[in-house]
Structure 1
């Protein structure tokens, strides 16, 4: 009986091993780049002019009484050079922070693609608000963006003590 079961198991394993055939498909397609390099093109519209168009359409608005606002026409590879540093007690923060890689999305533009980089920051004793947006210079398409709100811990702790 053991011989018969062993033979059946062996035949079964051999059958499974031989019946699986996989075809390897070589996909040599290059990654599609929707925004190729355009650093050699002269595009006359300034970042301020572009912002005024966006503002009319309500796509992006700087904060009223912003502590800092940036409107720049730069190469995509340079957008992470613009950040804002603020303190919450003894802790220094950076916006956009290193955890939020503003270049990390698909499909990413070519590093030498011209983009408009817009950022607005409003900071008070109580809180921090920041927003940024990246638009393609040629097509005016939105590429990336984000916003952040941060209630400062120092303020929160101070007001908890005052309530007690």
Structure 2
């Protein structure tokens, strides 16, 4: 036979635990900060003499230590794990329809989308949401590189955003989209 004391003790523990779970929630108060801490803070007032074309050439020549380190890490990876070097260290597509090189503020990038159609829907590319990149101040100077080829059969594109001050890549990527236009029979 079970001990009535143990049964009442377990019932008390269970009811106390349940009351703690279902009790009033506790909220902590924090003081709202007027200043957002960015990994890459605003620098729109600073003057950087390097042009976007000079930076692009320095990138291709792997002139800066940050790019040399990136290239060394790339070379050390096994071939099957290596991404395309032209994406890691941006390179314009040789047969591109359009190549864009701009030095601008990070918040100005959203306006540089190109609208493509796969035959069914229209899509912007690159679709860069600056709110997604919360480590970069909207008032941060960046280099924006964008290269794409748009034909009747396909769309290929790649882009990269580099910080003007640190020379680090902030964002980048590439896409391939075959087009499936429906012909009239």
In structure 2, what is the equivalent of residue 151 of structure 1? 178
1:117 is matched with 144
Distance of 1:69 and 1:62 partners within structure 2? 7
The alignment's TM-score, normalised by the length of structure 1, stands at: 0.74
* TM-score, normalised relative to structure 2: 0.66
In the alignment, is the contact (CA less than 8 A) between 1:102 and 1:144 conserved in 2? no
Alignment of 1:48-67 (within 5 A): 48-57=53-62, 59-67=89-97
Bigger CA drift: 46-55 or 26-35? 26-35
Extract structure 1 runs of 4+ deviating beyond 4 A.
Answer: 3-6, 17-20, 23-32
Runs of at least 5 residues in structure 1 that lack an aligned partner in the other structure: none
Alignment of 1:10-159 (within 5 A): 10-13=11-14, 16=17, 32-57=37-62, 59-89=89-119, 91-97=121-127, 101=129, 104-105=132-133, 108-154=135-181
Deviation of 1:91 (Å):
3.5
Q: Are 1:102 and 1:145, in contact at CA under 8 Å, matched by a contact in 2?
A: no
In 1: Cα distance, 2:13 partner to 2:122 partner: 64
Which is further off, 124-133 or 3-12? Answer: 3-12
C-alpha distance in 2, partners of 1:125/1:136?
34
The CA deviation string for residues 9-59 of structure 1, in whole angstroms up to 9 with x for no partner, is: 432235546999xx9987879864221111111111111111111122361
Cα distance in structure 2, aligned partners of 1:83 and 1:60 = 18
C-alpha distance after superposition, 1:89-114 (max 9, x if no partner): 364332113xx6365135x2111110
Matches of 2:121 and 2:17, distance apart in 1: 60
How far, CA to CA, are the matches of 2:28 and 2:123 in structure 1?
47
Structure with greater strand share of residues? 1
The CA distance in 1 between the partners of 2:19 and 2:41, in whole Å, is 47
Partner Cα distance (2:18, 2:117) in 1: 63
